[in-house]
């Protein structure tokens, strides 16, 4: 046990012991330990140009999808799809918190589907899921890119730049945040929408932020832990003795 490192984690454990309604809000930092690059980090996707000239936010836009579909699909395949994707200890920890009834909802900006792979049930995907593809003509769904028999255009079920978020999911995410007495925010800089906006709906007393590089959030934070998501959450369930529960 690293006593100094775990001091703030023990503070989080004590918060969770009195928590009735926990909501988790996660960004790209929850998936980096699973081998997925984040977007705005030191070595993130936004630091590179695809084929030496295309910015990621340009490629992942509705206009680009319509006009440069071949490059769009190549980018998805080479930069966003990770083979043999595995959950990390943080995902497992969230599943255990859900199992004992503390964690009510996971709100994620990620499109990798790792929370569901870990077994979490109540997952709200703000930006969709890259493991779901559908035909714009007939509506057929598959778990990976496919050529539709009807000849229609196939696209991933993710929100592209220039598209609105799913209103039903957005409303449910806001509702969940409003109900929470504890909100844990992980792996997001809190500098861009929707994270920067959603936190304004939190009315609880325990806002906890976990991020390896810190954040620029200007609101009132009860506890900030500048550390690794997987390590922190695994230690949380360890201190709560949940790792002994099969």
Tokens found for residue 220? 């009132």
C-alpha span between 211 and 131 (Å, rounded):
26
C-alpha 147/C-alpha 32 separation (Å) is 31
Is 91 labeled as catalytic in the residue annotation? Answer: no
Q: Which of 91, 115, 127, 155 is catalytic?
A: 127
**Which alpha helices (H) appear in 76-201, and where do they start and end?**
89-99, 114-117, 167-179, 195-198
Contact (Cβ atoms closer than 8 angstroms) between residue 135 and residue 143: no
What the block records as the tokens of 95 is 């599943």
Between the CA of residue 41 and those of 27, 56, 188, 212, what are the distances in Å? 12, 14, 10, 10
Radius of gyration of the chain (CA): 19
Which segments of 180-243 does DSSP mark as H helices, in order? 195-198, 229-239
Q: Please write down the long-range contacts of 227-232, taking CB distance under 8 Å and 24 or more positions apart.
A: 227/5, 227/8, 227/9, 228/33, 229/29, 229/30, 229/32, 229/33, 229/88, 229/90, 229/186, 229/187, 230/33, 230/88, 230/89, 230/90, 230/93, 231/89, 232/9, 232/12, 232/90
Q: What positions carry a catalytic annotation?
A: 127
């Amino acid at each position: 046990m690293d006593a100094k490192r775990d001091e703030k984690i023990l503070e989080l454990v004590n918060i969770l012991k009195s928590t009735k309604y926990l909501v988790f809000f996660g960004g790209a930092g929850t998936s980096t330990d699973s081998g997925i690059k984040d977007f705005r980090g030191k070595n993130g996707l936004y630091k590179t140009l695809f084929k030496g000239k295309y910015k990621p936010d340009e490629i992942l836009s509705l206009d680009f999808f319509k006009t440069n579909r071949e490059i769009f699909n190549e980018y998805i395949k080479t930069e966003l799809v990770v083979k043999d994707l595995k959950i990390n200890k943080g995902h497992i920890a969230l599943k255990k918190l859900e199992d004992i009834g503390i964690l009510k909802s996971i709100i994620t900006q990620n499109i990798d589907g790792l929370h569901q792979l870990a077994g979490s049930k109540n997952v709200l995907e703000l930006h969709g899921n890259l493991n779901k593809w559908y035909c714009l003509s007939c509506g057929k769904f598959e778990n990976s890119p496919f050529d539709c028999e009807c000849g229609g255009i196939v696209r991933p079920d993710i929100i592209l730049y220039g598209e609105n978020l799913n209103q039903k999911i957005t409303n449910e995410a806001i509702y969940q945040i409003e109900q929470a007495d504890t909100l844990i925010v992980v792996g997001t800089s809190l500098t861009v929408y929707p994270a920067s906006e959603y936190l304004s709906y939190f009315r609880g007393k325990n806002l906890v932020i976990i991020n390896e590089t810190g954040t620029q959030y200007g609101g009132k934070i009860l506890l900030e832990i500048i550390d690794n998501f997987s390590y922190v959450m695994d230690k949380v369930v360890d201190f709560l003795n949940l790792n002994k529960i099969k």
